[in-house]
């Protein structure tokens, strides 16, 4: 069996939503100290809907594929739905990731949550700290 699914290869080779949003409403940047990969997510939000999302990922193929898939999964969705996106759902949508690459999808979930937290902070909106837990980078 190939190490990477066709979907992973497709999103790695043809990543969707790459780039920067000027005047984004929320920006989240996260990194994994172990592998050194960095992911940055930009959100444009209107009426609680993710109108646009872009990413810049300096990292491995799985991190690029995870960012691409995760941005596709939250585009046009509500903040509530974006908050509910898990790394497991991203990995499943990619038809799986090798065990030692699951942390790449964790980075995508974490970057989106950080961008949403940034949005709440900028708007001065209340939120529950529990919704933004520390992420485990050992996976
Ligand atoms: Fe660390 Fe992929 S190897 S994000």
pLDDT at residue 110 is higher than 60: yes
Q: How far is the C-alpha of 31 from the C-alpha of 57, rounded, in Å?
A: 10
**Per-residue confidence band for 54, with pLDDT thresholds at 50, 70 and 90:** very high
Indicate the SS3 state at residue 18: strand
Q: Tell the residue nearest (CA) to atom 1 of ligand 1.
A: 35
139: pLDDT strictly greater than 60: no
Query: Which pLDDT value is given to residue 136?
Result: 73
Does residue 138 surpass a pLDDT of 80? no
Q: How far is the CA of 125 from the centre of ligand 1 (A)?
A: 32
Nearby residues of 41 by Cβ (< 8 Å), 6 or more positions away: 27, 28, 29, 53, 54, 55, 67, 71, 111, 112, 114, 115
Atom of ligand 1 nearest to the CA of 32: 1
Confidence of residue 71 (pLDDT cuts 50, 70, 90): very high
| Nearest-angstrom CA–CA distance, 24 and 59 | 22
- Distance CA(86)–CA(88), nearest Å, equals 5
What pLDDT is attached to residue 107? 96
For all residues of the chain together, what is the average pLDDT? 95
**pTM of the shown model:** 0.95
Flag the least confident range among 37-41, 79-83, 129-133: 129-133
């Amino acid at each position: 069996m190939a190490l990477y699914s066709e979907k992973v290869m497709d999103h790695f080779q043809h990543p969707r939503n790459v780039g920067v949003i000027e005047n984004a409403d929320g920006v989240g940047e996260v990194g994994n100290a172990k592998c050194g990969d960095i992911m940055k997510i930009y959100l444009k939000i209107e009426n609680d809907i993710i109108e646009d999302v872009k990413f810049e990922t300096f990292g491995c193929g799985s991190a690029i594929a995870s960012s691409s898939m995760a941005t596709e999964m939250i585009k046009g969705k509500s903040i509530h739905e974006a908050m509910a996106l898990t790394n497991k759902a991203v990995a499943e949508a990619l038809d799986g990731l090798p065990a030692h690459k699951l942390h790449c999808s964790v980075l995508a979930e974490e970057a989106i949550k950080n961008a949403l937290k940034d949005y709440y902070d900028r708007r001065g909106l209340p939120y529950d700290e529990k919704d933004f837990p520390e992420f485990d980078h050992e996976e």
